[in-house]
Amino acid sequence: MLGLTLLVSAAARSQTPQQPVQIEGRLDAIIARTTGFEGGLGVSVPSGIYVRSGLVAGIGVGRHGVEGRTDLITRFSLDPFRQSRWAPYGEAGVSGRYRSKLDGGSRAYLLVVLGVEGPLPFGRTSGIEPAFEVGLGGGVRLAVILRRGINARR
């Protein structure tokens, strides 16, 4: 019995641990009547096999000074197990954009995004992966993202 317990626990330790939290850094352009450019950080967690939910916060510059935003998002991946090098995904959520009154003031927007997530570095099971997004939410949004890759998952 002791031998079986040791064998099972050794097999469990040899499994590659999954990374439940995914962190990203991003550069965003929000093109509208008052365009803004922002740097941001995001964090997401699994909500199922195909779905991740998260929060993104950004700060940058608009036409009349400093601006910022917070996004609550849900991302649906069409390739959650990395069967392709590049994988499309969709996001939806809500966004709060915080600007000066000259730029339209603070407002909330619905957010819809299409993106593509790239491969991990060649021969690696973890690392930093690129992603690119285009969407709508307070204007047309364009983003370049670097995400921490998840072992055998997106």
Q: Report the distance separating Cα 133 and Cα 60, nearest Å.
A: 18
Cα dihedral sign for 126, 128, 132, 135? positive
User: How many folded domains does the chain comprise?
Assistant: 1
Instruction: Give me the domain span that covers residue 37.
Output: 17-148
The verdict on residue 102 lying in a domain is yes
Cα dihedral sign for 23, 84, 51, 88? positive
The verdict on residue 64 lying in a domain is yes
The verdict on residue 117 lying in a domain is yes
The predicted model scores a pTM of: 0.84
The verdict on residue 5 lying in a domain is no
The verdict on residue 12 lying in a domain is no
For the domain that residue 126 is a member of, what is the CATH number?
Answer: 2.40.160.20
Q: Could you read off the pLDDT of 21-68 as tens digits, one per residue?
A: 999 999 999 999 889 999 999 999 999 999 999 999 999 999 889 999
The verdict on residue 7 lying in a domain is no
